[in-house]
């Protein structure tokens, strides 16, 4: 008796390719989902870090007696990519250029405590009438 050998028929070939295609599609879908979760988690961590730096700057502005009554605000944004600098945007009116410099130096000092590279956008306006509005 001659042993029988089963060779794959040509009719079964498309079915096996379909399973390979489905398995490959599932692997790609799983990898894309994992990548999206990682990017979302990184975005969430960067947002929390920027809020922490923004809170430190705001608290420092409130603790300083000469700046606490002025409507100065700091907005902090941290890009997703690690090598990019932290951007701080300072806005609001101050009555004297010395107060503007004090606010900028205070924000830089508080932000540098986080250890990141800083890029500050100074949009503080020197307006001599600002003390009347702040009072």
Which range of residues forms the domain containing residue 89? 47-134
Inside any domain, residue 58: yes
List the pLDDT tens digit at each of the 135 positions of the chain. 566 656 555 555 667 788 899 999 999 999 999 999 999 999 999 999 999 999 999 999 999 999 989 999 999 998 888 778 899 999 999 998 999 999 999 999 998 888 878 899 989 999 888 655 545
Inside any domain, residue 99: yes
Inside any domain, residue 2: no
Inside any domain, residue 109: yes
Inside any domain, residue 36: no
Residues in Cβ contact with 56 at an 8 Å cutoff, skipping those fewer than 6 apart: 110, 111, 113, 114
CATH number at residue 98: 3.30.300.130
Residues in Cβ contact with 91 at an 8 Å cutoff, skipping those fewer than 6 apart: 72, 73, 75, 123, 124
Instruction: Count the domains in the chain.
Output: 1
What pLDDT does 108 receive?
92
What pLDDT does 10 receive?
52
Q: Is the pTM of this model over 0.95?
A: no
Rounded Cα distance between 88 and 84, Å, is 13
Q: Are 50 and 76 in contact (CB under 8 A)?
A: yes
Rounded Cα distance between 85 and 81, Å, is 9
Inside any domain, residue 123: yes
Inside any domain, residue 12: no
Helix (H) or strand (E) segment spanning residue 88: strand 86-94
Inside any domain, residue 38: no
């Amino acid at each position: 008796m001659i042993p029988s050998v089963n060779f794959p028929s040509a009719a079964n070939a498309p079915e096996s390719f379909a399973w390979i295609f489905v398995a490959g599609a599932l692997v790609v879908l799983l990898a894309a989902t994992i990548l999206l979760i990682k990017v979302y988690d990184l975005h969430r961590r960067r947002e929390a870090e920027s809020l922490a730096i923004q809170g430190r700057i705001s608290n420092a502005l409130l603790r300083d007696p000469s700046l606490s009554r002025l409507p100065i605000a700091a907005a902090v944004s941290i890009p997703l990519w690690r090598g990019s600098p932290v951007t701080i945007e300072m806005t609001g009116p101050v009555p004297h250029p010395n107060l503007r410099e004090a606010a900028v130096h205070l924000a830089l000092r508080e932000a540098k405590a986080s250890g990141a590279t800083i890029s500050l956008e100074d949009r503080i306006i020197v307006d001599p009438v600002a003390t009347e509005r702040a009072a």
